[in-house]
């Protein structure tokens, strides 16, 4: 309309020219798109035509393609495996489906990967067990020093397995601090039976799919750790170690501990169904062994399916023998050194243990011996004769540097208000100092608690405080002391969280010492829960606590009377040299501590 209304011919032509240019641009774009479509169609047609030609040529020459070879190999493998029931039907259906999928498509790769995984599982492959209990006993004795009660229980477990291989039985759960040999015990059990050993670490796992696999609908899906382990072992009856089972965590992705219920229950695991393979697989022949540092974080339903064997920490004497007969020869061999290239006498070993390796296990001790061997290897390569053949304390200090632990963790002279307790953690037993201090009250007297302690320990402190106040209710001087002073109880090492009721009698002793201004007799350690009536209740971890007391040279230990029945299970070398007092009431503690 605008063009028609324009009278001037020149201007009318200019407007027409603008419109024509726009139309030309549209036509150019359309032509470009059409050319691209034609090229793509032509390429697809050309590829299809060439592929069909290739098929015909191969058929004429009597040659089969790779896909047919793969499918034929899979068919042969199915017959070899002698599968039955659902697995055979499912694999056969998947193989038939694979035949009709083009080999250059993602679906073909997914289906082929699935079949490769399923067919590589040990459906009917077993390793023959070695039913020789004497050999098993020798292997355990050679690989681990001490732990006689643990070895005895393992030998009993293996004996039942040897007499009745198809027995379900319980699953062993080895519980103990780091570095005491839990994982290596599992390897020794596998060596005893001549079975394949496989270890999987469960520490930090939050996703259920890590145990039971991902469904094939997900991109990059794969089986869970159980099926993957069996695929690697190539045996249906390996020794399968589930390490750090106490460090599983629940998240929005599911509860891995709950998914282990089916794995560890012999009533169910004969038809374990991984999400990826989506067919039953028999796990009843697998010998499962689990390890943990503590049972506190293991769900009760899971713990109920396992038999707990506690492995305590080592005292200095045991560490010395382990280092001399096991660790040092191992490190010398590992570093290519002659057997007698490093000589350490008893005092030198104890110097390393007390200065660098006071923990419950022997991992750090092994690490220090490894450092010495590395330095010896370096001196040999450099032809440096300054490295001493016989190492004494001075040469060890120059090689390893300053000691990690200097002096004694317990003061030589305890002041009034300080008592020695015993604690038990996932890393083993340890001594626990409790300090009590009084300051003039600003108004009403109060009780202050510090040291990063938990709710249960705070309640224990309150009970001890109120019991001592009531204990001295007839003592005018003591009553005035509580009225005019604020009491502060502190548990050192404030960066470390602490909790539990076992420090009850220790806190009561510290308060008694503070009120009467009488120091606690040195080297008396104690453990026990305190009630408001003064009763001393039993606590856990007695063996670990006694080891800690012996390690710190606390030769007198006070224990609840109800824990006396456990002493029969504690090896004599741990209690040797210790004076043990069993108490039922806290007043008995005061008689021992302040006599």
Task: Tell me which residues are annotated as active site.
Answer: 502, 545
307 DSSP β-pair partners: 172
Name residue, tokens 């006689």: 148
Tell which residue, 545, 511, 548, has the closest CA to residue 528. 545
Please tell me whether residue 127 adopts helix, strand or coil conformation: coil
Query: In a 3-state reduction of DSSP, which class is residue 423?
Result: strand
Three-state DSSP class for 475?
A: coil
Closest CA to 530 of 560, 568, 510, 557: 560
Residue 430, class by beta-carbon neighbours within 10 Å (0-12 exposed, 13-18 middle, 19+ buried)?
A: buried
At 420, give phi and psi (nearest 5°): -105, 120
Strands (E), 88-179: 171-175
DSSP of 273-326:
E-TTT-SEE--TTSEEEEEES-STTS-HHHHTTEEEEE-----HHHHHHHIIII
Q: Please write down the HEC assignment for all residues of 500-565.
A: CCCCHHHHHHHHHHHHHCCCCCCCEEECCEECCCCEEECCCCHHHHHHHHHHCCCCEEEEEHHHHH
For residue 246 the two structure tokens come to: 């106490």
Question: Which residue, 551, 555, 513, is CA-closest to 414?
Answer: 513
Name the β-bridge partners of 175.
292, 310
- Report the distance separating Cα 452 and Cα 429, nearest Å: 18
Report the C-alpha gap between 329 and 341 in whole angstroms: 10
């Amino acid at each position: 309309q605008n063009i028609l209304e324009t009278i001037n011919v020149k201007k009318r032509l200019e407007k027409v020219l603008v419109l024509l240019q726009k139309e030309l641009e549209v036509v150019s774009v359309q032509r470009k798109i059409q050319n691209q479509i034609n090229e793509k169609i032509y390429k697809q047609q050309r590829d299809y035509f060439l592929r069909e030609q290739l098929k015909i040529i191969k058929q004429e020459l009597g040659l089969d393609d790779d896909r047919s070879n793969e499918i034929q190999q899979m068919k042969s493998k199915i017959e070899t495996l002698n599968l039955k029931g659902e697995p055979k039907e499912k694999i056969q259906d998947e193989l038939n489906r694979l035949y009709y999928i083009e080999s250059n498509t993602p679906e073909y790769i997914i289906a082929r990967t699935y079949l490769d995984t399923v067919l590589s599982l040990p459906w009917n492959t077993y390793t023959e067990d070695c039913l020789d209990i004497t050999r098993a006993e020798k292997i355990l004795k050679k690989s681990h020093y001490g732990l006689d009660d643990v070895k005895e229980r393992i030998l009993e477990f293996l004996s039942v397995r040897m007499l009745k291989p198809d027995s379900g039985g319980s699953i062993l759960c080895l519980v103990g601090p780091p570095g005491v040999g839990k994982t290596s015990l599992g390897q020794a059990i596998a060596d005893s039976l001549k079975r394949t050993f496989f270890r999987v670490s469960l520490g930090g796992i939050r996703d259920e799919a890590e145990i039971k696999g991902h469904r094939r609908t997900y991109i990059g899906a794969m089986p869970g750790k159980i099926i993957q382990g069996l695929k690697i072992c190539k045996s249906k009856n390996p020794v399968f170690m589930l390490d750090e089972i106490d460090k599983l965590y629940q998240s929005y992705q599911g509860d891995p501990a709950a998914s282990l219920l089916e794995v560890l229950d012999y009533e169910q695991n004969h038809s374990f169904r991984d999400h990826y393979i989506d067919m039953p697989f028999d796990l009843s022949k697998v010998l499962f062994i689990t390890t943990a540092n503590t049972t506190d974080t293991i769900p009760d339903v899971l713990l109920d399916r396992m038999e707990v064997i506690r492995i305590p920490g080592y005292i200095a004497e045991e560490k010395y023998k382990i280092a001399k007969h096991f660790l040092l020869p191992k490190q010398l061999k590992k570093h290519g050194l002659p057997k007698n290239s490093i000589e350490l006498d008893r005092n030198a070993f104890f110097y390393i243990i007390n200065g660098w390796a006071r923990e419950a296990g022997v991992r750090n001790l092994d690490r220090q011996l490894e450092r010495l061997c590395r330095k010896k290897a370096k001196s040999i390569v450099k032809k440096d004769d300054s490295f001493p053949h016989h190492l004494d304390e001075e040469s060890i200090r120059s090689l390893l540097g300053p000691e990690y632990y200097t002096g004694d963790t317990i003061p030589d002279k305890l002041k009034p208000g300080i008592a020695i307790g015993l604690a038990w953690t996932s890393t083993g037993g340890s001594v626990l100092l409790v300090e009590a201090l009084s300051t003039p009250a600003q108004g009403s007297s109060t009780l202050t608690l510090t040291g990063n302690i938990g709710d249960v320990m705070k309640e224990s402190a309150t009970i001890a405080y109120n019991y001592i106040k009531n204990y001295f209710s007839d003592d005018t001087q003591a009553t005035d002391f509580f009225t005019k002073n604020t009491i502060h109880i502190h548990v050192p090492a404030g960066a470390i969280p602490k909790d539990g009721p076992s420090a009850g009698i220790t806190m009561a002793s510290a308060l008694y010492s503070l009120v009467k201004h009488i120091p606690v007799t040195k080297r008396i350690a104690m453990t026990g829960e305190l009630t408001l009536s003064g009763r001393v209740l039993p606590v856990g971890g007695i063996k670990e606590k006694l080891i800690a007391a012996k390690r710190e040279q606390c030769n007198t230990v006070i224990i609840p009377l109800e824990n006396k029945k456990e002493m029969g299970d504690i090896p004599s070398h741990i209690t040797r040299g210790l004076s043990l007092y069993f108490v039922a009431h806290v007043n008995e503690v005061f008689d021992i501590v302040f006599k």
